């Protein structure tokens, strides 16, 4: 029998490698790299109080607040992700944190919208042509989201499927740094065309209850496309809206969304643990359920163009 050594035992793998030969630790995730043009950097400084020299300091401050005040909040802490919320609230740390909490609270509170949220799950909505993003931005650089409510047939699927498709589209848009103002996304204008007379009456009733700056972003054009063209040039609009950019094509945007399937699976199709540290509750609009139906007056609204920046 061999004599047992008094020296400490080591595993074979450790014994076979010297200290300098140990496997390196996994690499750190890549940090934020600004992709904004000089023009947009200047615009962010003027409109959002974003200073490039303080940007990462501000992101770290928000990250520290999340860890201290919401330690159980299951959220990404990546630079680019947190930067969305800082920009949406003009780098006000407290308001950015509240927006982040509300964002996750909404996702937990409305499972029929956010569970299994991925492009392949809303193929019926995409195939119907209910929504698309126009290929050209407006003169301010805003993306134009085109929604056509008349394409929705309530007997085919519930209204929440439309909401899911809209949410996926907005999430995809804000992956581009140029659009990270709010939702972080901000709606710059809502142009409604071919709306029925009852819609104008309903809007006149609710308008006094809207904030002035929000109310001023709604434009009801009726059948007057010339009115629409004073806000959105014909060169970026499809033929269906009196434009010169060819016929409306929904297949291109559908392909963009479907190609992002894996990204959305990672973000929205993982188990979400409960969180007791929610600062505020964000609930679905009152009275809206998964089997909510839409009457003929709503479906008669032929299309809406949302100009998003």
Beta-carbon contacts of 123 under 8 Å, excluding residues fewer than 6 positions away, are none
Check residue 195 and give its pLDDT: 84
Q: Does 289 reside within a domain?
A: no
pTM over 0.95: no
Q: Interior CA angle at 152 toward 149 and 156, to 5°?
A: 165
- Looking at the fold, whether 45 and 180 belong to one and the same domain comes out as no
Question: Is 11 a member of any domain?
Answer: no
Same domain? For 192 and 171 the reply is yes
155 and 302 assigned to the same domain: yes
CATH number for 219: 3.40.525.10
Q: Which residues contact 35 (CB under 8 A, 6 or more apart)?
A: 177, 178
Phi-psi region of 242 (alpha: psi -120 to 50; beta: other; left: phi over 0): left
Task: Report the distance separating Cα 130 and Cα 53, nearest Å.
Answer: 43
What local confidence, expressed as pLDDT, does residue 284 receive? 39
Structure token pair of residue 261: 């399937």
Q: Are residues 242 and 94 in the same domain?
A: no
Q: What does the pLDDT read at residue 98?
A: 93
The residue out of 109, 126, 141 marking a domain boundary is 109
How high is the pLDDT of residue 281? 41
Answer for the pair 191, 223: CB distance below 8 angstroms, yes or no: no
pLDDT reported for residue 214: 82
β-strands 218-222, 187-193 pairing:
parallel
90 plus 223 within the same structural domain: no
Cα angle 207, 209, 211; round to 5 = 85
Residue 252 lies in a domain: yes
Q: Based on the domain organization, do 54 and 122 belong to the same domain?
A: no
Q: Is 169 exposed, middle or buried (0-12, 13-18, 19+ CB in 10 A)?
A: buried
Pick the last residue of a domain from 109, 124, 156.
109
90 lies in the same domain as 119: no
CATH at 48: 1.10.8.20
pLDDT, position 176: 66
**Tens digits of pLDDT across the chain (309 residues):** 444 444 444 444 444 444 455 555 444 445 777 777 788 788 778 878 888 889 899 999 999 999 999 999 888 898 988 998 998 889 999 999 999 999 888 888 888 988 889 999 999 999 999 999 999 998 888 889 999 999 999 999 999 999 999 999 988 888 765 555 434 456 788 899 988 888 888 888 888 888 888 888 888 898 889 999 998 999 999 999 999 999 999 999 999 999 999 988 887 776 554 444 344 443 333 333 434 333 333 333 445 555 443
The domain containing residue 86 runs over which residues? Answer: 38-109
> Is residue 88 domain-shared with residue 128, that is, in the same domain?
no
Task: Specify the residue for token string 């193929």.
Answer: 123
pLDDT at 123: 95
Strands 143-147 and 303-308: antiparallel
Residue where a domain terminates, one of 109, 134, 158: 109
pLDDT score for 304: 56
Residue 231 maps to a domain = yes
Q: Where are the alpha helices (DSSP H) in 174-270?
A: 197-206, 212-215, 225-229, 251-258, 261-268
Tally of domains within the chain = 2
Residue 10, domain member (yes or no)? no
Query: What is the distance between the terminal CA atoms of the chain, rounded to a whole angstrom?
Result: 79
174 and 231 in a single domain? The answer is: yes
CA–CA dist 181, 175 (Å, integer):
11
What is the residue-wise DSSP string for 74-107? -----HHHHHHHHHHTTT-HHHHHHHHHHHHHHH
Residue 285 domain flag = no
Residues 93, 106: Cα–Cα separation, whole Å: 20
SS3 call for 164: helix
Long-range contacts of 56-59 (CB under 8 A, 24+ apart): 56/31, 56/32, 58/86, 58/91, 58/93, 59/32, 59/83, 59/86
- Tell me if 187 sits within 8 A of 217, measured CB to CB: yes
| Closest of 62, 66, 64 to residue 84, by C-alpha | 62
The CA distance from 194 to 220, in Å, is 8
The helix/strand/coil state of 67 is helix
Query: Does 7 fall in a domain?
Result: no
Q: Do 120 and 137 reside in the same domain of the chain?
A: yes
For residue 30, tell me if it sits in a domain: no
Residues 139, 213 within the same domain:
yes
Are 233 and 172 part of one and the same domain? yes
């Amino acid at each position: 029998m061999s004599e047992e050594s008094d020296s400490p035992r080591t595993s074979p793998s450790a014994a076979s490698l010297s200290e300098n030969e140990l496997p390196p630790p996994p690499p750190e995730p890549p940090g934020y790299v600004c992709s904004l043009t000089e023009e947009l950097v200047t615009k962010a400084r003027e409109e959002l109080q974003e200073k490039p020299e303080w940007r990462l300091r501000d992101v770290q401050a928000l990250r520290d607040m999340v860890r201290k005040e919401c330690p159980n909040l299951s959220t990404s802490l990546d630079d680019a992700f947190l930067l969305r919320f800082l920009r949406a609230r003009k780098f006000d740390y407290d308001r950015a944190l509240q927006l982040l909490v509300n964002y996750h609270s909404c996702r937990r509170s409305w499972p029929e919208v956010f569970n299994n949220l991925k492009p392949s799950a809303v193929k019926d909505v995409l195939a119907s042509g209910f929504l698309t993003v126009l290929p050209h931005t407006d003169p301010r650089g805003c993306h134009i989201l085109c929604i056509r409510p008349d394409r929705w047939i309530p007997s085919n699927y519930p209204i929440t499927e439309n909401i899911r498709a809209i949410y996926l589209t907005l999430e995809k848009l804000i992956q581009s740094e140029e659009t990270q103002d709010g939702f972080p996304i901000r709606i710059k204008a809502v142009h409604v065309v071919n709306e029925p007379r009852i819609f104008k009456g309903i809007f006149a009733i609710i308008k006094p209850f809207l904030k002035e700056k929000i109310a001023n972003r709604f434009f009801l054009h009726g059948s007057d496309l010339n009115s629409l063209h004073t806000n959105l040039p014909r060169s970026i609009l499809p033929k269906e809206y009196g434009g010169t950019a060819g016929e409306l094509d929904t297949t291109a945007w559908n392909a963009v969304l479907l190609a992002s399937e894996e990204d959305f699976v990672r973000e929205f199709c993982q188990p979400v643990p409960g969180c007791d540290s929610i600062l505020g509750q964000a609930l679905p609009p009152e009275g809206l359920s998964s089997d909510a139906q839409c009457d003929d007056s709503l479906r008669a609204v032929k299309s809406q163009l949302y100009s998003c920046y």
